[in-house]
Amino acid sequence: MNVDLKILDARLRENMPAYATPGSAGLDLRACIDAPITLEPGQWQLIPTGMAIYLKDPGYAAMILPRSGLGHKHGIVLGNLVGLIDSDYQGQLMVSAWNRSPTAFTLQPMDRLAQLVVVPVVQPTFNLVDEFEAVSERGEGGYGSTGKQ
């Protein structure tokens, strides 16, 4: 699959967005900020990534996810938990960086902050019904209905 990519911050040209390993699912997104930003405990801020993608095909979307190291060790996750990038979005990719930890965290310019995963998407047509087919073993059960063990 080929996706149009715009570089909006020239500093990315020295560090072009690339998959870190051949098997990487996520493409690291960098904090395209001019100076360090300190996120106090509980604080969040929208961080530009210096790049835009245009997926175009409604059969795809992209998701912005936390990096596991930053999230687990430093509590730097996303203010929207997951960022969903529509196939028709052409603007700059933005990361809502949220410090959910009790310790301040300083983000340096061009740090790898989050990651982008491109995923297939289905837009179904909906068939309006009054009752679903009674063939489902689960039925309306949920929220732990199958037990704990």
Ligand X SMILES: O=c1ccn([C@H]2C[C@H](O)[C@@H](COP(=O)(O)OP(=O)(O)OP(=O)(O)O)O2)c(=O)[nH]1
Total binding residues toward ligand X, as defined by CB under 6 A: 10
Between residue 5 and residue 64, which ones bind ligand X under the rule CB under 6 A?
Answer: 64
Integer Cα distance of 103 and 17 in angstroms:
29
Nearest Cα residue to 40 out of 113, 86, 98: 98
Pick the stretch among 24-32, 36-44, 90-98, 128-136 that binds ligand X (CB under 6 A): 90-98
Query: Out of 85, 97, 116, 118, which residue is the one contacting ligand X (CB under 6 A)?
Result: 85
Residue 101 as a binder of ligand X (CB under 6 A): the answer is no
Q: Which residues contact 29 (CB under 8 A, 6 or more apart)?
A: 17, 49, 51, 64, 93, 95, 112, 113, 114, 115, 116
Interacting residue with ligand X among 94, 110, 117, 121 (CB under 6 A): 94
Give the one residue of 24, 86, 90, 108 binding ligand X; rule: CB under 6 A: 86
Nearer to ligand X among residue 7 and residue 141 (C-beta): 7
Beta-bridge partner residues of 29: 114
Kindly state the smallest distance separating residue 134's Cβ from ligand X, in Å.
36
Is 57 assigned a ligand-binding role in the annotation?
no
In sequence order, the 6+-apart residues with CB closer than 8 A to the CB of 13 are 7
Q: Looking at beta carbons, which residue is closest to ligand X? A: 83
Strands 37-39 and 105-107: antiparallel
Question: Binding residues for ligand X, per CB under 6 A?
Answer: 64, 80, 83-86, 89, 93-94, 96
